Amino acid sequence: MAAGEGNGVVPVEMEGANSNNNNNISSVISGWFSEISPMWPGEAHSLKVEEILFQGKSEYQNVMVFQSATYGKVLVLDGVIQLTERDECAYQEMITHLPLCSISNPKKVLVIGGGDGGVLREVSRHSTVEQIDICEIDKMVVDVSKQFFPEVAIGYEDPRVKLHIGDGVAFLKAVPEGTYDAVIVDSSDPIGPAQELFEKPFFKSVSKALRPGGVVCTQAESIWLHMHIIEDIVANCRQIFKGSVNYAWTTVPTYPSGVIGFMLCSTDGAPVDFKHPVSQIDESARPLKFYNPEIHTAAFCLPTFAKKVIEAKSV
C-alpha cells in the first residue's frame, strides 16, 4: 500500500496484538506515521511514509515495516518504532560496545531480544568472542528483519551465532551459573511481552548467568520521560549486582524524546570501570558509524536532574 503525499491514506492503527499489551494507538494517516503511546503522554513523533512494505500480526505483537521519507526503512512493533536505517547505529553500537569494550577478552555473550540482528552484528566485531547466543521471543521479527533490513540482520550470518526462539526469562533460568562474560538485553518498553525484562527476578537470573566480573547492559528508557522507571531499575540493580552499577545514555532521533538509556552492571569479581574502555574494535571490515572511545566515556555524564535521582538510589 503506497502512502503518497497528502493522499488521505486509509488509517492503519497499530494497537497491541493482545488485550494485555499496551494501549498504543499509533497510526498511519494522510501519509504520516504518528507514534502515540501512554508511555509518552501528551506528545507524538511523526515520520512521513512513502510506502508500507509489510504488515503482520505475530503471536505476540503487530509488526510493520514502512519506507520513510527521511530515515530509510522503519521497523515498528505494536505501534512503537524499534529501528530506522538512518539512526539504528546510535543504539546498536552503544548497547553493545559500552559493555564489551569495558572488559578484557569477552568469550561468551548472550543477547536477550534484539531479533533484528543489530546487536549480533556489533558483537561479531569482537574477535575474542567465541560464542554468541541470542534468545528472541518472536520469530516474525527475525524473519522480517532478514527480509527488509539485511544490513542489520547480517549479524545472523556469523557462524558463532546460535538463535533460540523463545522466552528470554525462561532461557536465563535454565542457564548454568557463570556461563557468560556479558549479557545484552535489547528489549522494547516494559509493557506487553517485555515487561518481565525490567523486574527484579529477571535481573537475579542475569546475575546468576554471569561469571565473576561479568557485565550486563540493558535498555533503560529515557531520562526525559521515564525517571520513575529508571529509579526502580537502579534500585533493583543496586540490590542484585555487587560490582559496578552505572547509567549511560545516547541520542536516537526517532526514539521518544530523542534519548535512550542503558543500565550497565557487573557482578562481584574483577572490578569493572565502565566509564573507561579497555579494548578497541577492529573496524577494517566495517567502519563504526557512531561509537568511539570518547563518546563511550561521555555517555556516563548525566544532566544534573538525572544525576541527582540516580545517585540518590545509589546510597
Active-site option among 78, 116, 186, 189: 186
Residues forming beta bridges with residue 265, ordered by sequence position: 216, 245
Task: Please tell me whether residue 64 adopts helix, strand or coil conformation.
Answer: strand
Listed residue (33, 44, 36, 24) closest to 3, CA to CA: 33
Computed from CA positions of residues 97, 103, 106, 112, in that sequence, does the dihedral angle turn out positive or negative? negative
The pLDDT value recorded for residue 25 is 73
On whether the CB atoms of residues 271 and 92 are closer than 8 A, the answer is no
Q: At what angle do helices 200-209 and 227-240 cross, to 10 degrees?
A: 40
Between the CA of residue 111 and those of 14, 151, 153, 238, 293, what are the distances in Å?
A: 27, 18, 14, 22, 23
The pLDDT value recorded for residue 194 is 56
| DSSP 8-state symbol, 164 | E
Q: What share of the chain is helix, strand, coil (3-state, %, to 5)?
A: 30, 30, 45
Number of other residues whose CB lies within 10 A of the CB of residue 32: 16
- What angle (nearest 5°) sits at the alpha carbon of residue 23, between those of residues 22 and 28? 115
The pLDDT value recorded for residue 30 is 87
The pLDDT value recorded for residue 261 is 97
The pLDDT value recorded for residue 283 is 86
Residues forming beta bridges with residue 45, ordered by sequence position: 35
Residues contacting 285, CB < 8 A, separation 6+ = none
The pLDDT value recorded for residue 10 is 39
The pLDDT value recorded for residue 156 is 98
32's grid cell: 504520516
Q: Residue 79: CA atoms inside 13 Å, Cβ hemisphere, count? A: 27
Whole-number Å distance between alpha carbons of 168 and 18: 19
On whether the CB atoms of residues 265 and 211 are closer than 8 A, the answer is no
pLDDT tens track of the chain, all 315 residues? 333 333 333 345 544 444 344 566 778 888 999 999 888 999 999 999 999 999 999 999 999 999 999 999 999 999 999 999 999 999 999 999 999 999 999 999 999 999 999 999 999 999 999 999 999 999 999 999 999 999 999 999 999 999 999 999 999 999 999 999 999 999 866 655 556 666 788 899 999 999 999 999 999 999 999 999 899 899 999 999 999 999 999 999 999 999 999 999 999 998 999 999 999 898 888 899 999 999 999 999 999 999 999 988 665
The pLDDT value recorded for residue 189 is 64
Cα 128 to chain center, whole Å?
23
Assess whether 282 carries a catalytic annotation.
no
